[in-house]
């Protein structure tokens, strides 16, 4: 082959090479080591921002552009390749671009040796790997940052198994990498929070991220609170391939917060409480007043405000000193606190002035009962050191909303009333509206005398017959209590039963009526008279009493009274509030053969389901529905509906308050044959009833 032909071929080969590499980031270099010339393809110069003619094809060109720091290791690699220590030359180095920035190059080449084994030529490629290098550097920086940060960064796969664990995680959780890789991420959560963990993972999977403040678990089990951020890890196509967790330790911050909160609470407590008695002070008192006003207004109820001032407290302070005075105030605070209910608020306004907000007031008289109790506990002797002290208080009471609807006025009025109480001789209470005091005092006097009435046997039982209007035959009699008051004459139950119920005296009254009536009726049976069934009014309080079943059994035995002679009437309004225990008792009584009837039926809105559950034999139509028959069509419709209801529930029915022929006729026409009322007889004394029965027997 001629020399010119060979040169031609070389040129063509180079051209093909150039063509093949065109479009890639790779250029050719051909170093003739004998004459030290360097051929570089135009794309090489282009890669560095130069036109072909701007750079001479000499090794000097490369030397001029290479980074000083890289020259040594490039040349070292070349030498090692020449010596055949490495098969292929491969090296990364930087060349300066015309605009000054550095281009990272991957150089690959091979040495060509002549027959004597001398290196004569080195041919290879230069590839621009700047982007890859930058990415690699960036990645390595991120990896270093991740490794160095103090916070925990953990990744885990879709099934929750840990796939990476940085140094911060070791610090935070105390586990070495090999202790946790492949373990489940949930191991970092306290056992009692695993529910929370499940919820968190569900939300993370749904939304792709989750952030919370949470308690986590260290290897040592020492408390760890962290801000935990979780997010999903995605592949190039956006599919979730796992999750990454970032946890920042806030344990110390939490501790500080807890201390600050405690201090804040202490300061708040101090600002709202009296240091001596630990009761709410004036500030908190007004706050509670506002709350009570809002609540009471919403519920449409009322409350009472008590202003309590100790009588002659100054005297104790002056004569025995403030130390003793303070201890007296503490005792007073404790005694009042133990007397009021939990929902009431006792405050100390100043010195010896206390207030009580008595919530949820049903009757203003309840306030007088509490005032009386407070006065009583205050009067008990106090033993302080060697002293036995007797103190008393004066109480003023104002009522929301009757007296005023704002806190300031209520306090002012209670204060005014308290002064009136002092004027009236101390150790007493006074309502702001003076007629209330009168009323309360009357009721209290009534309560005392009612208590005595039982002991003094001032109560009497009257009986009212119950009739079968079809046959005009007597089917039973209802016992109704009366009070033979020494000064006020014969009092009917409407004057004292409500008070007896409020004070609990109803239990004693009902017990007394039960014994008296059973004894008398049993006697009549024995005499051969036929009183039939005795109906007794039963207060729910009596039914709820622990001994009620025992007491009834004792009466049955003592008076030889057959259970089927007895009927117990429970007012519908009280049945509604009844609970399981009482229903069981009624069932027991019913099984014994005692009848149960619902009194005043139609006034208490009892539900059908309750009626079905109760062991009832009879409904008593309330007399308010009978009163206006036949004038009131609505009442007639109600009575018809009650009769139909009793019919469908297979219950016996009786109407009370029957006074006229028309009422009787209406009831008979509509299927109610049993009646009770003035039409037949008013309630009469036992003496008259006995005569009535005797006449009937003849």
Ligand X SMILES: Nc1nc2c(ncn2[C@@H]2O[C@@H]3COP(=O)(O)O[C@H]4[C@@H](O)[C@H](n5cnc6c(=O)[nH]c(N)nc65)O[C@@H]4COP(=O)(O)O[C@H]3[C@H]2O)c(=O)[nH]1
Residues that bind ligand X (CB under 6 A): 464, 480-481, 492-494, 497, 506, 510, 513, 537, 539, 569, 571, 599-600, 623, 656-659, 676-678, 683
Helix H, strand E, coil C: the string for 429-487 is EEECCHHHHHHHHHHHHHHHHHHHHHHCCCEEEEEEEEEECCCCEEEEEEEEEEEEECC
Quote the least distance from Cβ 677 to ligand X, whole Å.
3
Quote the least distance from Cβ 610 to ligand X, whole Å.
20
Cβ 200 vs Cβ 212: under 8 Å: yes
Dihedral (C-alpha) 515, 517, 520, 525: value to the nearest 10 degrees?
-110
Shorter beta-carbon distance to ligand X: residue 327 or 462: 462
Cβ 230 vs Cβ 244: under 8 Å: yes
Shorter beta-carbon distance to ligand X: residue 393 or 602: 602
Quote the least distance from Cβ 276 to ligand X, whole Å.
48
* Of the candidates 549, 544, 604, the residue with the CA atom closest to the CA atom of residue 580: 544
Cβ 33 vs Cβ 122: under 8 Å: yes
Quote the least distance from Cβ 564 to ligand X, whole Å.
21
Quote the least distance from Cβ 627 to ligand X, whole Å.
7
Cβ 543 vs Cβ 586: under 8 Å: yes
Instruction: Decide: helix, strand or coil at residue 691.
Output: helix
Q: How far apart are CA 445 and CA 436, in angstroms?
A: 14
Quote the least distance from Cβ 463 to ligand X, whole Å.
10
Quote the least distance from Cβ 580 to ligand X, whole Å.
22
Two structure tokens written together for 365: 């008289």
Quote the least distance from Cβ 287 to ligand X, whole Å.
43
Shorter beta-carbon distance to ligand X: residue 389 or 636: 636
Two structure tokens written together for 662: 């028309």
Shorter beta-carbon distance to ligand X: residue 344 or 599: 599
Task: Transcribe 177-192 into DSSP letters.
Answer: HHHHTTSBGGGGS-GG
Shorter beta-carbon distance to ligand X: residue 249 or 622: 622
Q: How far apart are CA 41 and CA 516, in angstroms?
A: 131
Quote the least distance from Cβ 578 to ligand X, whole Å.
15
Q: How far apart are CA 693 and CA 525, in angstroms?
A: 10
Shorter beta-carbon distance to ligand X: residue 507 or 556: 507
Two structure tokens written together for 210: 């989750």
Shorter beta-carbon distance to ligand X: residue 327 or 664: 664
Quote the least distance from Cβ 475 to ligand X, whole Å.
15
* CA dist list (Å): 184 to 159, 163, 413, 586, 686: 8, 10, 69, 60, 87
Shorter beta-carbon distance to ligand X: residue 256 or 498: 498
Q: How far apart are CA 41 and CA 21, in angstroms?
A: 10
| Rg of the chain taking only CA atoms, in angstroms | 51
Quote the least distance from Cβ 668 to ligand X, whole Å.
16
Shorter beta-carbon distance to ligand X: residue 492 or 591: 492
Shorter beta-carbon distance to ligand X: residue 404 or 513: 513
Q: Kindly report the length of the chain.
A: 698
Quote the least distance from Cβ 343 to ligand X, whole Å.
28
Cβ 401 vs Cβ 294: under 8 Å: no
Quote the least distance from Cβ 675 to ligand X, whole Å.
9
**Tokens 């290897």 -> residue:** 219
Shorter beta-carbon distance to ligand X: residue 84 or 492: 492
- Residue 619's contacts (CB-CB under 8 Å, 6 or more residues apart) are 597, 598, 601, 642, 645, 646, 651, 652, 653, 654
Two structure tokens written together for 432: 């702001």
Shorter beta-carbon distance to ligand X: residue 47 or 533: 533
Q: How far apart are CA 224 and CA 216, in angstroms?
A: 5
Strand partners, 103: 95
DSSP H stretches of helix in 208-321: 251-272, 282-299, 313-320
Per-residue burial over 217-237, b if 16 or more Cβ lie within 10 Å, else e, is: bbeeeeebbbebbbbbeeeee
Q: How far apart are CA 533 and CA 568, in angstroms?
A: 10
Quote the least distance from Cβ 657 to ligand X, whole Å.
4
Shorter beta-carbon distance to ligand X: residue 325 or 657: 657
Quote the least distance from Cβ 522 to ligand X, whole Å.
17
Two structure tokens written together for 312: 């002659």
Burial of 185 (0-12, 13-18, 19+ CB in 10 A): buried
Shorter beta-carbon distance to ligand X: residue 152 or 539: 539
Quote the least distance from Cβ 614 to ligand X, whole Å.
18
Quote the least distance from Cβ 569 to ligand X, whole Å.
6
Shorter beta-carbon distance to ligand X: residue 405 or 547: 547
* Of the candidates 45, 41, 53, 37, the residue with the CA atom closest to the CA atom of residue 15: 41
Strand partners, 400: 303
Shorter beta-carbon distance to ligand X: residue 506 or 575: 506
Shorter beta-carbon distance to ligand X: residue 332 or 655: 655
Which 8-state DSSP code applies to residue 424?
A: T
* Of the candidates 95, 94, 91, the residue with the CA atom closest to the CA atom of residue 107: 91
Cβ 324 vs Cβ 384: under 8 Å: yes
């Amino acid at each position: 082959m001629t020399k010119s032909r060979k040169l031609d071929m070389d040129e063509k080969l180079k051209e093909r090479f150039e063509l093949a590499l065109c479009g890639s980031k790779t250029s050719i270099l051909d170093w003739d080591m004998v004459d030290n010339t360097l051929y570089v393809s135009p794309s090489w110069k282009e890669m560095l921002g130069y036109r072909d003619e701007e750079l001479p094809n000499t090794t000097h060109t490369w030397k001029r552009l290479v980074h000083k720091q890289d020259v040594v290791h490039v040349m070292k690699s070349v030498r090692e390749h020449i010596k055949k220590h490495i098969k292929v030359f491969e090296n990364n180095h930087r060349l300066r671009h015309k605009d000054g920035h550095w281009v990272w190059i991957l150089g690959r080449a091979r040495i060509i040796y002549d027959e004597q084994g001398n290196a004569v030529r080195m041919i290879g490629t230069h590839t621009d790997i700047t982007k890859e290098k930058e990415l690699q550097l960036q990645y390595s920086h991120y990896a270093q940052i991740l490794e160095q940060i103090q916070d925990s960064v953990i990744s885990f796969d879709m099934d929750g198994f840990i796939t990476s664990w940085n140094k911060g995680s070791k610090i935070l959780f105390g586990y070495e990498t090999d202790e946790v890789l492949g373990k489940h991420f949930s191991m970092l959560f306290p056992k009692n929070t695993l529910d929370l963990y499940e919820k968190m993972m569900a939300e993370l999977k749904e939304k792709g991220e989750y952030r919370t403040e949470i308690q986590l678990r260290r290897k040592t089990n020492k408390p760890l609170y962290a801000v935990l951020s979780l997010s999903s890890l995605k592949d190039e196509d956006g599919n979730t391939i796992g999750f990454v967790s970032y946890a920042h330790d806030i344990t110390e911050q939490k501790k500080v917060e807890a201390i600050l909160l405690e201090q804040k609470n202490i300061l708040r407590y101090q600002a709202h409480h009296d240091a001596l008695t630990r009761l709410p002070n004036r500030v908190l008192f007004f706050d509670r007043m506002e709350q009570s006003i809002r609540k009471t207004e919403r519920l449409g109820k009322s409350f009472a405000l008590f202003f309590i001032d100790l009588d002659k407290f100054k005297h104790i302070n002056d004569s025995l000193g403030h130390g003793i005075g303070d201890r007296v105030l503490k005792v007073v605070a404790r005694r009042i606190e133990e007397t009021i209910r939990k929902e009431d608020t006792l405050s100390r306004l100043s010195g010896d002035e206390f207030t009580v907000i008595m919530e949820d007031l049903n009757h203003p008289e309840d306030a007088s009962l509490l005032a009386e109790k407070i006065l009583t506990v205050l009067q008990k002797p106090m033993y302080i050191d060697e002293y036995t002290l007797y103190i008393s208080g004066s109480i003023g009471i104002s009522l929301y909303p009757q007296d005023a609807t704002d806190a300031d006025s209520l306090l002012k009025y209670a204060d005014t009333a308290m002064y009136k109480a002092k004027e009236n001789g101390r150790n007493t209470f006074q309502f702001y509206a003076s007629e209330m005091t009168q009323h309360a005092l009357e009721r209290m006097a009534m309560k005392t005398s009612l208590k005595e009435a039982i002991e003094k046997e001032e109560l009497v039982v009257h009986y009212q017959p119950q009739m079968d209007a079809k046959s005009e035959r007597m089917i039973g009699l209802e016992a109704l209590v009366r009070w033979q008051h020494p000064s006020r004459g014969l009092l009917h139950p409407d004057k004292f039963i409500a008070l007896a119920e409020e004070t609990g005296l109803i239990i004693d009254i009902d017990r007394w009526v039960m014994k008296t009536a059973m004894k008398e009726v049993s006697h009549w049976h024995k005499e051969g008279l036929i009183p039939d069934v005795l109906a007794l009014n039963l207060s729910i309080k009596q039914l709820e009493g622990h001994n009620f079943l025992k007491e009834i059994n004792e009466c049955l035995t003592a008076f030889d009274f057959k259970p089927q002679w007895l009927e117990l009437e429970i007012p519908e309004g009280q049945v509604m509030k009844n609970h399981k225990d009482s229903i069981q008792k009624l069932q027991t009584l019913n099984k014994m053969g005692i009848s149960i009837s619902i009194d005043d039926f139609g006034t208490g809105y009892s539900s059908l389901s309750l009626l079905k559950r109760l062991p009832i034999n009879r409904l008593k139509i309330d007399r308010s529905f009978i009163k206006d028959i036949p004038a009131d069509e609505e009442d007639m419709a109600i009575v018809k509906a009650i009769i139909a209801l009793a019919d469908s529930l297979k219950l016996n029915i009786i109407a009370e308050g029957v006074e006229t022929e028309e009422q009787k006729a209406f009831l008979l026409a509509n299927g109610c044959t049993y009646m009770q009322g003035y039409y037949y007889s008013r309630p009469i004394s036992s003496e008259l009833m006995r005569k009535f029965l005797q006449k009937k027997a003849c």
